[in-house]
Structure 1
Amino acid sequence: MSEPLSPAVPVRKRRRPPRPEAASEQPLAGQWFIGTVSADESGALVVQSGSLRLPATRAASCLLAPAAGDSVACLRAPPRDTWVLAVLQRDEGTPQVLRCDGDMRLEVRDGTLALDAARIELRTEVLDASARRSTLATDSADVVARQLSLVASRIKMVGALLSSVVDRVEHFGKSYLRHTDGMDKVSATHVEVQAQQLMRLEGEHALINGRELVKARGAQIHFG
């Protein structure tokens, strides 16, 4: 007689041991929380969340500088790093300050950058502006400077009134041409006009008035 068949025994597959590098592929753990910004005695950034009071660092992407009393979103990473990622809420009246450490460039490609505000202030040690074409339209403009230099190949001014007050004015040019439809008057203590070749005065009426002395000197003097 044949021996009875034994029941089939399931074959168990051996599990491969995890690769040694699998543990290193896991992302670092972090803890999200919400807190309130305060500052310590040295002025460093501190976040209060519940009973925890943690020193924090503003993340590079958080351009809005946290202020005391702000509600902020934070990330706590081991071992002791706490980052402020965003300002969630701020009390009314607190200034909005965008802050960046180091060089910063705002770049807009194939578009227009527009600034709309009731008042715009620029404060800097050096201001450099470069443009192929500039247009300034304003009802009133004031320029105050200790020294102002203007260099241009062509300058054109059109206006109803030009008024200037300076201690000394100097003009140097190859040619100077002036047209006046009305009165052209010069008032000074001493007026001197010099010409190397020719000086010509012409008018329908010419009046020369010397209260004490009228003197003409030349190799030849012609009247008439």
Structure 2
Amino acid sequence: MPQAVQKKIESPELALTYAAVASVNGAALVVQTPTGQMQARKAVSCLLAPAPGDQVLVSVDRFGRAYVLAVLARPDALTENRLSLTGPTRLTVTGGDLTLSAEHGMDLASPAHLSLAAGELNVHAGRAEIGLAETNFTGNALSANIVRIRTVARSVDSFVKNWVQRMTSCLRYVREHDETQAASARQLVEGTLTVQTGNSVHLAEGHVKIDAEQIHLG
């Protein structure tokens, strides 16, 4: 066998040992082994980020390169468990569902963007609070069944082709100006229509018609 091929297939001897994490500085670790302290790096396959005090499994080759393969025990139960990955990451599940559950809460955070895409989206919560600087909603249909709505807005612009409202009673309080511009308008009142103003002005370019059984002016 050629000498070059022999060197290519040679593998350095490995040794596995237990160690304790002495300190963590980014990706660099200092571990305490039975033979003393040494520098080590977290292996890519070790998803749980080591923390000081953790008992870990370390592989060491004959060149002195050491990698933390796994976190075996964590004496301090209050230490945060952190999964550490570098670079673009994708979690793929084939032939089944993915469920994430937490007893006390769950947070999703990203300084860039967060996307949700699904054939069906169900959200159930006892209370919801949403703060958005700008919102764009596009949909074909919206159905809402709500007991009470309270809205506070500085200004509202609505562009609607057809609007039908059915209410038991309606009260409107306008502090300043109220104006309606329409091609035509009609009011149908089954009972009594009362209009009370400080001053009233009716202007018509054509004619004004008042039709009633009795008309009282005065």
Same fold (TM over 0.5): yes
Distance 1:222 1:40, change over 3 A: closer
Deviations 1:18-74 (A, max 9, x none): 886667645431011011112277883111112421111100110000001101000
Counterpart in the other structure of 2:146: 159
What residue is the counterpart of 1:78 in the other structure? Answer: 62
Deviation at 1:115, TM superposition (A): 1.2
| Unpaired segments ≥5 residues, structure 2 | 212-218
* Counterpart Cα distance in 1 of 2:24 and 2:108: 31
* Residue equivalent to 2:159: 172
Residue type of the alignment partner of 1:206: L
Q: Residues 24, 59 of structure 1: CA spacing in aligned structure 2 closer, same or farther, 3 A cutoff? A: same
CA shift for structure 1 position 132? 1.1
Percent identity between matched residues is 24
Aligned position for 1:103: 88
Post-superposition Cα deviations, 1:110-129, rounded to whole Å, max 9, x if no partner, equal 11111111200111121011
- Rounded to whole Å, the distance in 1 between the matches of 2:106 and 2:133 is 23
Offset of residue 146 of structure 1:
1.4
1:143 corresponds to 2:133: no
**140-149 or 62-71: bigger deviation:** 140-149
1:93 aligns with 2:78: yes
Measured in 1, the distance between the counterparts of 2:181 and 2:37 equals 83
- Which amino acid in 2 is paired with 1:145? L
Separation (CA, whole Å) in 1 of partners of 2:25 and 2:97: 44
Q: What is residue 114 of structure 1 aligned with on the other side?
A: 99
Deviations 1:189-223 (A, max 9, x none): 21111102x11111022111112x11111021000
Distance 1:42 1:154 in 2: 50
Give secondary structure in 2 for the equivalent of 1:56: strand
CA distance 1:127–1:23, change in 2 (3 Å): closer
Report Cα offsets for 1:165-207 as digits up to 9, x if no partner. 11111110111111112x11111121111102x1111102211
Question: How far apart, in 1, do the equivalents of 2:35 and 2:24 lie?
Answer: 16
Is contact 2:22-2:53 (8 Å) kept? yes
Structure 1 residues 153 and 24, CA gap change in structure 2 (3 angstroms): closer
Aligned length: 204
By how many angstroms is 1:138 displaced? 1.5
Q: What residue ranges of structure 1 are gaps of 5+ in the alignment? A: 1-17
| 1:119-165 Cα deviation digits (max 9, x unpaired) | 00111121011111101112211111111221111111111111111
Equivalent residue for 2:53, pick from 52, 69, 82: 69
Within the candidate set 172, 182, 201, 1:186 is matched to 172
